[in-house]
Structure 1
Amino acid sequence: MVRTVSCDSSEKGETAVSDLRLATLVAHRAPPDEIFAAVAREVGQTLEIRNTVVMRYEPDATATTVGVWNSETMPLGSRWPLEKGTVTELVARTEASGRIDDAYAVGAGELGTALRDMGLNSAVGCPVTVGGHLWGAVAAGSTAEPLPEYTEERMLDFTDLVAAAIANADCHAKLQASRARVLAAADATRRLIERDLHDGAQQRLVAVMLELRAMEAMPPTDPEEFKRLLSGTTHTLNEALEDLQGIARGLHPALLSRRGLEPAIKALAHCCAVPVDLNICVDRQLVERSEVTAYHVVSEALTNAARHADASVVHVDLSVKGAAIRLSIRDDGKGGADPGRGSGLLGITDRVEALGGSLQIMSPVGGGTSLLAQIPIADV
């Protein structure tokens, strides 16, 4: 039996104060564990519910207690199966708020038995959704009469703050990881340039210096030998110049600077070992950093298609719509590309996101690989 109780203005005021306290924690980027504990406490104190918990759903159909208020039965860090008949299972299954007002309806498993032993009479749970996906739940239980019917509505305010805290922590972690990758990539690029200079241009220039010294010491009576050495020196200098040009192209494609994005991408397509179907529509001058980012996305995608995908064709569609470059790249290869395993895909993701853009990578096994990028064209 459910008791109908209206929520008066004083109770709403208490909820608002609690929300403010929690919002302050979220705004100050308090650690998630601290926020989970605060949410459990505020729900319990504001709604006058003795037992409240914040649960995180795990991939193996269990839930972990990450925030607790007055619940000895479900201590912090404890892990429980999602048993049918419990409010945590109900929320996980329906992805919506739910309640159980009959203790005898609770399942007979480990969690159900523990809840009955504590004398639970009523339980309410509300989902915590982060980025469109169910993350966990905030649950409250009463050993007295059933919880008021407005309990779910008031708890939803708290779940929104939990979701915000998780999203903030996730964004911060991704930002830190991205910064670390950018620094590592910069260090790797510097090491590569150093190695290429040492093994290529530097060695050739040393050879030129030795050849010039030999020519300097040569008696003027042997012009043919002088010509031969001069020809060899010229050849070595040309090789050193090619080495330096190759390094420069790796840092920034000269064609992109001289002629723009469309010719540079056409050059990439021409050099690709896989046939490329190009559809490019650029009707305005673009910011250099946006062009460079789009160029590197196409370059990485074509390289992967040629080296790893066993593709027979790659489709590249690039257009400018509004304030962004829209880029779609699709191949008919074997798929299965994992951005987490390759530095190349992570690198272009970091490039796009550094400009405030987005990059989606879809690569089902056997279904080819698709990249969808939106790259802002305004200065940031």
Structure 2
Amino acid sequence: MVMVDREDQAVYPAWRVVSVPVATVWTSPSSPRSLDAPALAGFALGRPGSGPGERGEDKSDSGNSVKKQTDSGFLTQKRTGPGERWEQGIEAWLGAMTVPDKLDLCEANRVQTQALYGTPVLTYEEQDGWSRIAIPSQSSPKDENGYPGWIPTEQLLPISAQEAHRLSGQEGGASDGAAVPNAIVTASTTDLEFLSYSGKMRISFLTRLPLATEEEQGTVLGAESVIVQTPHGLARMKRADVQVAAGDGGSPADDVGGRNKGQVIVAQAKRFLGLHYLWGGMSAWGYDCSGFAHSMHLACGIVIPRDASVQALHGAGIPPEELQPGDLLFFAHEQGQGRVHHVGIYAGDGHMIHSPDSASSVELISLEGYKLADEHCVSRRYWT
């Protein structure tokens, strides 16, 4: 990826790219609690050629970490070491929260959504270590440019508008007009091994990174690996954990093996049975109900709105007798007459797979006797 100096993008709006495995998007800078500190950390790489566990950072006289300029021109991030330590941070954050702590993320309106490593975001302003952003790849009526919220500035790195468009597969990206091939993570998680720095980063299902050019690959590329461009330079991933797709399309489920895409949506969803719910979640560390529906569709190359209330307004309306696997079922307060508050994926044979609530995990249930059955308000189909 082509990075730029932050000082060169002091005029807003400006483009940034997510530089941690998954960035949580907060409602405001005051939204996080003290227990959320692990979810606010940045990511640091060791110096070029440094040994495992060493940090690519300087120390102040007090011994605290400070930002410095590396040989590559990237700013290292304070508070964390190599990538495996960041993974422990997010797992520590999720593992330490009680059910009331998780419920509070929703009830206190603390979290909006999440964005995966390498996702371009549009930044409107930066203040006191926070950036107000919008995520173009997650559509929302809250902002015409994408899902809005706040991300710690140290979880973002600056990129040019051309690079942002290239990563998004939009016009004006690649200089020769050709689509940029991407490696899309198909495993639940996989490791990025950086080629110029010590340390690894664990990244999530559906993380999308551009393939390195043939010149960049050089002699590094092997039958078992792919080399990708990242916000932190070139990195290696296991070939078995990714699918290579053209920059203007493609998905982990392109090869449907005779099944329709609705069946593939369900098959992808079943891979995450037992995964704990996370309000605002958009990664293999946890999904909320609409993030789960959004991501399982994206795994089939289908882009749908981010939130359930908006998902319920689009797609083709499907009567109950015509439901097929992969259709979305929506539930609303006031016995289906009020605000939409939940979505699940119809799995066939009267069953639904969904990420239900903060006290539960992704589950496959029978709709007969389901506690929200009388709140079903509409069913939608986005696949064809």
Query: What TM-score, normalized to structure 2?
Result: 0.21
Structure showing greater relative contact order (alpha-carbon pairs closer than 8 Å, 6 or more residues apart): 2
Larger Rg: 1
Task: Say which structure is richer in helix.
Answer: 1
Task: Say which structure is richer in strand.
Answer: 2
Query: What TM-score, normalized to structure 1?
Result: 0.21
